[in-house]
Amino acid sequence: MDKLRLGIIGFGNMGSCHYHNIISGKCPDIEVTAITETNTARMEWMRAQSDIPDTVKLFDDIVSMLDSKLIDAAIIAVPHYYHPVLAVECMKRGIHVMVEKPAGVYTKQVREMNEFAKSSGVVFGMMFNQRTNHIYRKLRELVRSGEYGRIRRTNWIITDWYRSQAYYDSGLWRATWAGEGGGVLLNQCPHQLDLWQWICGMPSRIEAHLSFGKWHSIEVEDEVTSYAEYANGATGVFITSTGDACGTNRFEIQTDKAKFVIENGELNGWELFPSEPEFSKSNKSIFGLPEIRKMEINTDGQYPGHPGVLNAFAGAILRGEPLVAGGEEGINGLTLSNAMHLSCWLGKPVDIPFDEDLYYNELMKRVSQSKANKKTGTTAKPSFTTEDFSKTF
């Protein structure tokens, strides 16, 4: 094929964003040939849009689009619970698939999606566009080079996600256990959780304190303070909130021989001469300190973002080029958010890997009482498996 024929599943904020990136020429290997949207009002609005040409077939039924033979690949941009459901339906039909963040709501379902993907023969990607940011790519390169020793401590405070009550009131599904499956961890932070583990590796234990509806009239978390332990003895703290109108985004990593900080869109570093372990062994002064030099860190300055991920996706299908993030990697950041939820619900630290059935059962307790069920009249314990796909849509 000369161009990848792409179908967009869900034409909300992200689906329409991807569409406009493609039609503006940012993804030259891709053409949108079909869009599906199950929201009637949204579909009527789409039909009235002058920038959606007749060459793009509009569907109000997802299965019909998947069976239309009009698409080679699909990008999934629908509510979180159905990301794995629809990904598997694409794979069953040999349709390559790109999944928006998060990979899903609970790891048990995402693990099933990943297992299915292994034998599907399709290209499977995650929309982790933050991995294309030059400052995070460079930080990963520096930390993982081994030149600066082991990681000792990681700290990420990401509280510039401010949302007013009007945001949460804009949709019945928002900030509900049945609609989203979580709050700031599932909606705003999947990129940061992915980057945290992509750069620093997975912790072995999480202890978290979450506040549910602390700053807003919602049922899910809007503030999180989490403590992580790593197998090598390193520790980490992850703090996030949607309640800080004047928030902060600061990511700091301390290693044996350096400190790296990302803040205000900049990556800075300071190197120790010699490394702290070496200095501590040889130093004779009770208040001694190794020499600290500001590092000159150069990056390529590139941040292709969403179009970059889609271009790599098309390149992987058309020419066998590497993805920005394989779909199977989506489970890692989700593992962290699930562990944080479970730790709070149980009131104790959670080892990773954790009991995925226990997490699912605890989540479903909250889903059964969710206001999204009461307002929409859906079942008290919704099914989110591929077997229920045809009943759901």
Return the closest-CA partner of residue 316 out of 304, 307, 326: 326
Residue with tokens 């979180």: 80
pLDDT digits (tens, 9 = 90+) for 242-297: 999 999 999 999 999 999 999 999 999 999 999 999 999 999 999 999 999 999 99
Confidence of residue 62 (pLDDT cuts 50, 70, 90): very high
CB 257 within 8 A of CB 264: no
Separation in Å, CA 168 to CA 145, 261, 279, 325: 42, 32, 52, 30
pLDDT digits (tens, 9 = 90+) for 80-92: 999 999 999 999 9
CA–CA gap between residue 358 and residue 323 (Å, rounded): 33
Q: What is the predicted pLDDT for the residue at 358?
A: 98
- First-to-last alpha carbon distance for the chain, in angstroms, is 31
- Tell me the average pLDDT of the chain: 94
Sequence-distant (≥ 6) Cβ neighbours of residue 177 within 8 angstroms: 219, 220, 363, 366, 367, 369, 370, 372
Q: What is the predicted pLDDT for the residue at 371?
A: 87
Residue with tokens 């094929």: 1
More confident residue, 39 or 331: 331
pLDDT at 384 over 70: no
What pTM was estimated for this model as a whole? 0.94
CA–CA gap between residue 27 and residue 21 (Å, rounded): 7
Other residues' Cβ atoms within 10 Å of the Cβ of residue 302: 11
Q: What is the predicted pLDDT for the residue at 51?
A: 86
pLDDT mean over 182-206: 98
pLDDT mean over 80-108: 97
Q: What is the predicted pLDDT for the residue at 173?
A: 85
Take residue 227 and report the two structure tokens written for it: 């403590």
Q: What is the predicted pLDDT for the residue at 377?
A: 44
Domains identified in the chain and CATH numbers: 4-129+305-326 (3.40.50.720), 131-294 (3.30.360.10)
pLDDT mean over 120-126: 98
- Which alpha helices (H) appear in the chain, and where do they start and end? 13-21, 40-47, 62-66, 82-92, 107-118, 134-144, 165-168, 184-187, 190-200, 276-282, 305-319, 330-346, 356-368, 371-376, 389-392
Which residues in 69-95 are b (16+ Cβ under 10 Å) and which e? eebbbbbbbbbbbbbbbbbbbbbebeb
